[in-house]
Copies of this chain bind each other. A is one copy, B any other.
Amino acid sequence: MITKRVPSETIGRLFRYFRSLSCLLRKGEEIVSSKTLAEVCHIKPATVRKDLSYFGEFGTRGVGYDAASLINKIKKIIKLDKKINVALVGIGNIGRALLKHSTFELEGFKIVMAFDNSPSKIGDTVGNVMIEDAANIRERIESSGIHLVILAVPDYATSKVANVLQLAGAKSILSFSPCGLSMPADIQVTCIDLSVEMARLVYNSCVDYREKV
């Protein structure tokens, strides 16, 4: 169980540990040292050891952590120990790519519903999911109890769909629309903004470090 002693920075790093351990395990590395885990996460081994010690996980000195068991422990802490059903709204290029994205399921997420408002797409099946009419979003999401929704609609439709999602009881939105969503505080929104990420990379790579500090 999480206690209040655990710093939020540690919780943040647990997601990276979870991800990196899953990758290492897929590559066949069943025992992972704090040094290896630290390397792939770009942090110090001592930080890894301290973070994991909060949860009574110390590994075996000189050997390392059992990857599978550590993954399960972390999953429980970060609330990923149950499969999470996800709805997707907007089946354009990005939406289609997400439906075909095979590793979501390995990581505990499953897109179980997909919506679009284009008659030419409704009824199609992409990656095992049938595209439904966006007119039914509220009813379908509400009755299924899905809390996490991926939004991959054009800019102009974002706010409208987000409002419907709110009425449907969605708790979290992962949005690929670059324009900020104004949502009530009880809905979590994360925006994936590729242009901003690229802009940041360009800036960081061409600005002298001292200027940035």
Residues in A lying within 8 Å of B, measured CB to CB: 2, 4, 8, 11-12, 15-16, 18-20, 23, 26-27, 39-42, 78-80, 84, 86, 92-94, 96-98, 100-101, 103-104, 107-109, 147-148, 150, 155-156, 171-174, 178-180, 182, 187-188, 190, 192-207, 210-213
Contacts and interface: CB of A to CB of B under 8 A. Distances in A.
Contacts of A104: 194-195
Given A40-B179, A202-B80, A174 B194 contact: yes
A109 B40 contact: no
Given A79-B202, A148-B202, A172-B205, 9 more contacts: A2-B207, A2-B211, A19-B178, A23-B180, A41-B180, A42-B180, A94-B101, A108-B199, A188-B201
A199 B108 CA distance: 9
A79 B182 contact: no
B193 A194 contact: no
A155 B20 CA distance: 11
B39 A199 contact: no
A27 B79 CA distance: 39
B198 A148 contact: yes
A197 B174 contact: yes
B207 A84 contact: no
